[in-house]
Structures are given as C-alpha cells and as structure tokens.
Structure 1
C-alpha cells in the first residue's frame, strides 16, 4: 500500500531548502522506481515552497521511515513536521485503479 508523506518546512527556511535541493533530488532519483508522485507544496502565491508531498509505493512502513530519514531535507533539518499516512489508490494518472 502506498504511503503519502506530507512534510512542512520550518518558517524562514527557504535558503536551506535551496541549498539542500540538489541532494534531495538525487535521493528521489535513487528511489524513482517507488515514487508515484513527489513535489513541493506551495504557498498561496503559487511559487513559494512551504513543504513537500511524496507518495511512495511501499507496503513496508519501516522502508517508508528509512526513506524519509535518509532524505537530505530531513537530515538537514528543513522540516518542522512530517506526517505519513497509508493511501489507497482509487484513481492514478487519470485511470481508475480500484
């Protein structure tokens, strides 16, 4: 069962996000086979990142936790909160899956 990861940035951490982004993208690339979706959540202005949303396709919660713990954004202290929830696919890429 996939898991949705919602991580909110600490206030005032835009420069830290920019600094850590290349390593974060490398981390995502290493796990691309398990990613259903990933990207920044944005402020109401539609441009300012305020967090991250990732859907990782894994039935193993320990694997999901290890993925989060190894993320350079986590290791670098970017996130104020991280929430993980199991997710059931009903629609994916415009098609009904369940």
Structure 2
C-alpha cells in the first residue's frame, strides 16, 4: 500500500537539514524499490526547502511509523510531526515530467 508522507521542517533547522542530508538520502535509498516519488517541498520562491513529500510502499501504517522513527531527519529533529495517508495514484505518471 502506498503511503503519502508529508514532513514539514521545524523552524530554524535549515543548517541541520544540510548537515544530515547525506544520511537522509542513504536511508531513503533503502526504500528505492518501494518508492513512488520523493523530494523536497519548497517555498514559493523555489529557493528555500520547507519540508519533504514521500510516497512509499509499506505493508501498513505501523511499518511507516517504524521506518520514520529511524529516519535521520526525524532523529535529528528536522521534521515536525508527520502527516501520513494512504495514497492511490489515479493518474499515470508521465516520463520526463516536468519538461526541461
């Protein structure tokens, strides 16, 4: 089951996010085969990271919560409380989207 996970950054954690990013990316890579999409959420100016949006296949909510508990940004205190919902993709993903 795909879970959409909305993770907003705590105020004042931009430097911490940069420091922990290599660990975060390595941890995400452990789910690369189950990942529908993942990436940073940006401010309206497109320059400031304000959080993350992940869509990952997990067997159930308990597995999502267990995985998030060990997620490096979570452990370091970058993220506020996650918002987790099951997700059904009703629109086919387009290759090469968005256009360059």
Please give the TM-score of this superposition, normalised by the length of structure 2.
0.88
Deviation of the 1:31 alpha carbon = 1.1
Structure 1, unpaired ranges of 5+ = none
**C-alpha displacement of 1:81:** 2.5
Distance (whole Å) between structure 1 residues aligned to residue 77 and residue 44 of structure 2: 24
Runs of 4+ displaced beyond 2 Å:
none
What is the CA distance between 1:61 and its match in structure 2?
1.2
Q: How does 1:13-32 map to 2 (within 5 A)?
A: 13-32=13-32
Q: Deviations over 1:8-46 (max 9, x none)?
A: 001111001001100000001111011110010001110
Distance of 1:12 and 1:48 partners within structure 2: 12
Higher strand share: 1
SS in 1 for 2:19: helix
- 1:94 Cα shift? 2.8
Number of aligned residue pairs: give it: 95
| SS class of match (1:50) | strand
Q: Please list every run of 5 or more consecutive structure 2 residues that lacks an aligned counterpart in the other structure.
A: 96-100
- Alignment partner of 1:60 is 2:70: no
Give TM-score scaled by structure 1 length.
0.90
